Amino acid sequence: MLFSAILMALGEIRRNTGRSLLTALGIVIGVAAVIATVTLGNSATAKVTSDVAALGNNMLILAPGNMKRGPVASNATPFELADVTAVTREVGGLTGVAPLSSKNELVVFGNKNHSTQLSGTTNAYFAVRGWTVASGRAFTDSEVSSGAPVCLLGATPKTELFGGGNPLDASLRIGKMSCTVIGVMESKGKSTFGQDQDDFVLMPLAAFQRRVSGSKHVDQILMSVSTKRATSSVIAQVQSLMRERRHIASGTEDDFDVRDMKEIANTLGTVTGTLTVLLAGIAAVSLLVGGIGIMNIMLVSVTERTREIGIRLAVGARGVEVLTHFLIEAAVLSLFGGAIGIVFGLGGSYAVTRAFHLPFAFSPSVIAIAFGFSATVGIVFGFLPARRAARLKPTEALRHE
């Protein structure tokens, strides 16, 4: 009976294609909106997580100043290379420690120039940030220790200055110094927030300190934590080491900050997750509105089909059968709308992820939920019209024009 009732409902929908499409439109939009927001939200979360992972595997960043009190305090003592050595020697559970000092500089090659972030570091930087040299080579140990005027280009300055040409062994002018290109880094593309991650030039820290910044300061110390160690215990080690080296009395706040990139990733993930839930909630409201649309059309349809109901009653349909008939019709209609909505939602979010270079986070559970939800909407909102149909008196229904 159920099967033939579903067939009957499908027949009814086929006979009234136009009206059925209009009826289901609300559900189509609602389901498409829910699917699209959830899929795009998941895609954004995945992108944020992968972007932060791209900053470095299990990376900690040690910087002077205290984030809790605001941006980098100008009076905080900067780090020096000795701090890097101390961290390397004294803190257990680290797989790499790299100093990093940066400054915006104009890089000139021939008649082209490009303003970029110039950083001084060591070879440990590549391992800490999980970044590889695409062509050419990394620094040699002697280049690092002597501060040789050599540099590695990010993909952006390479393109800006050399186009398709070969940058290796070319001589760049940076401020008053000239420096030989020894390699080009692989490209990481844009981050979630549209920041170009490839816009930089790297040189040995000693060269940077001597010829660019003119000081022995190290802006940041990057550390990568072994996956076998708990990040919190490593952070505690770094903090106590730094408090000791910087002679901070107990009871006084740190004048430095250890940032855990994984935690930032988790925080960002939570933020995008919350946004997704919020947007999906708003989208769900449109699904509700779609349900009310179905109810409206079904009510009109019951009035319009009063005579048909009369005929069915006359040939022996019981009230409960008329009720089931209309309920199934509403459910089939909204499932039909749900199916179309799923196609549109997935198609739309696929197009958007493509356009914004996001990963496409397909989630089968969302589809199952959307499908179940649209069936529920159909049954809940189909109930009132169906009950009205079932309660019609045969004589009155047959007399209806």
Partner 1 sequence: MSPSTTPLVSLRAVERVYGKGDATVYALNGADFEIRDGEFVAVMGASGSGKSTCMNILGGLDVPTGGQYLFRGVDVGSLDADQLALFRRHYLGFVFQGFNLLKRTSARENVELPLVYRKVPRKERRERAREALRIVGLADREEHSPSELSGGQQQRVAIARAIVSDPLLLLADEPTGNLDEAKKRDIIGLLETLNRERGITIVMVTHEPDMAAHADRIIEFRDGRVVRDGAVRAPGSDAV
Q: Which residues bind partner 1 (CB under 8 A)?
A: 1, 4, 8, 11, 15-16, 307-308, 310-321, 394-395, 398
Min separation Cβ 316 and partner 1, Å: 2
Q: Quote the CA–CA distance of 138 and 125 in Å, as a whole number.
A: 10
Which amino acid belongs to residue 58? Answer: N
The answer to whether 139 touches 122, Cβ cutoff 8 Å, is yes
Distances (CA, A) of 82 to 86, 99, 350, 388: 6, 10, 51, 84
**What are the beta bridge partners of residue 256?**
64
Min separation Cβ 21 and partner 1, Å: 16
Min separation Cβ 312 and partner 1, Å: 7
CA pseudo-torsion sign 85, 137, 226, 191: positive
Residue whose CB is less far from partner 1, 125 or 326: 326
Min separation Cβ 269 and partner 1, Å: 53
Residue whose CB is less far from partner 1, 311 or 380: 311
Q: Which residues of 6-27 are buried (b: 16+ CB within 10 A; e: fewer)?
A: eeebbebbeeeeebbeebbbbb
Find the angle CA(171)-CA(204)-CA(152) to the nearest 5 degrees: 45
Q: Quote the CA–CA distance of 347 and 35 in Å, as a whole number.
A: 10
Residue whose CB is less far from partner 1, 8 or 379: 8
Min separation Cβ 311 and partner 1, Å: 5
Min separation Cβ 398 and partner 1, Å: 7
Residue whose CB is less far from partner 1, 10 or 127: 10
